[in-house]
Amino acid sequence: MSFSLVHLSDMHFGGVADLAQIEAVETLVPELEPNLVVISGDVSQRARHGELQRARAFVRSMAFAAPVHIIPGNHDVQWWRRPLIPFGRRGKYAKYRAYFGEELTPALNLPDAVVAGVLTAHGVAWGSLTPRLRDIAVKGHLPKSEILRAQKLFTAARREQTRILVLHHNVLRGELSKRMGLARWKTAQQRIVASGADLVLCGHDHTEQVEALEGVVVACAGTLSTRSRGGRPPVFFRIVVDDEAMTVEHYRWDASGGVFRRSHQHQFARRRPVVRAVAT
């Protein structure tokens, strides 16, 4: 078995999108011949119609190469519509749904993989609040109900299928920012490990990072915008899974050539995930 995917995140269509990078990705991805393209949120900058229209066109271009799995990020949420009002939840995602469909957390069952999206971008919500004012509408949280739904999908998967969990906010502490993307991050990490996932795909921090979290491979893609953290060249991932290993290849932006080039890779031995009780 050999399965590959391309992982993109944080395009931020609008004022900060880097169109040269976007166009380079649109050219390169079909050549990589992936079985799946994953976009882990923040396709817009302010959830404006024009931004989401361009993002939809980008998704449609990716769909010519492979099935596309997409979830919203915090920039795609119109949190100002009805902050902290429980019955205002639907309005926060109205524009996103208009362009990408009703399902905010899609699931895909492919011959070689099961993909489960979970929602961590809730805008201003009780579960995401922290004492820091700058975290409002930026920080995310991972509800237990979300991970239980993903766990159910992973439990039903065939042994040979790779179990892939997709969320927006960074699960690992940012290498440069030193920040966690999720409120109550220790509980969130416990829930992710308990889900039975083999691979976690996320973004948000605008810096690429790959590590193993108690045996679960976590890949945090960089941004395709002018806001790459620390002035580092943007990076997206190509991930190849076979019977023995999981390989995360970095495709780094070469501004002088106007192309993404493969720079280096991380490789992890395949493991059999263990489904556990989910932390409360």
Q: What is the mean pLDDT of the segment spanning 214-235?
A: 94
Q: Write out pLDDT tens, residues 5-28.
A: 999 999 999 989 999 999 999 999
For 60-69, 78-87, 194-203, which range has the lowest pLDDT when averaged over its residues?
78-87
Please give the pLDDT value at position 138. Answer: 79
pLDDT at 85 over 60: no
Based on its alpha-carbon atoms, the radius of gyration of the chain, rounded to whole angstroms, reads 17
What are φ and ψ of residue 224, in 5° steps?
-110, 65
Residue 80's pLDDT is 62
Q: For 192-205, what is each residue's pLDDT tens digit? A: 999 999 999 999 99
The per-residue pLDDT for range 228-277, each reduced to its tens digit, is 999 899 999 999 999 999 999 999 999 999 999 999 999 999 877 667 77
Read off the pLDDT of each residue in 186-196 and give the average, rounded to a whole number: 96
Can you say whether the dihedral through the CA atoms of 38, 228, 94, 79 is positive or negative?
A: positive
For residue 187, is pLDDT > 60? Answer: yes
User: Has residue 1 got a pLDDT over 60?
Assistant: yes
Q: What is the pLDDT of residue 44?
A: 97
Per-residue model confidence (pLDDT) at position 245: 95
What domains sit in the chain, N to C, each tagged with a CATH number? 2-269 (3.60.21.10)
Average pLDDT of every residue of the chain: 92
Q: How many CB atoms lie within 10 A of CB 158?
A: 9
User: Is the pLDDT score of 91 beyond 80?
Assistant: no
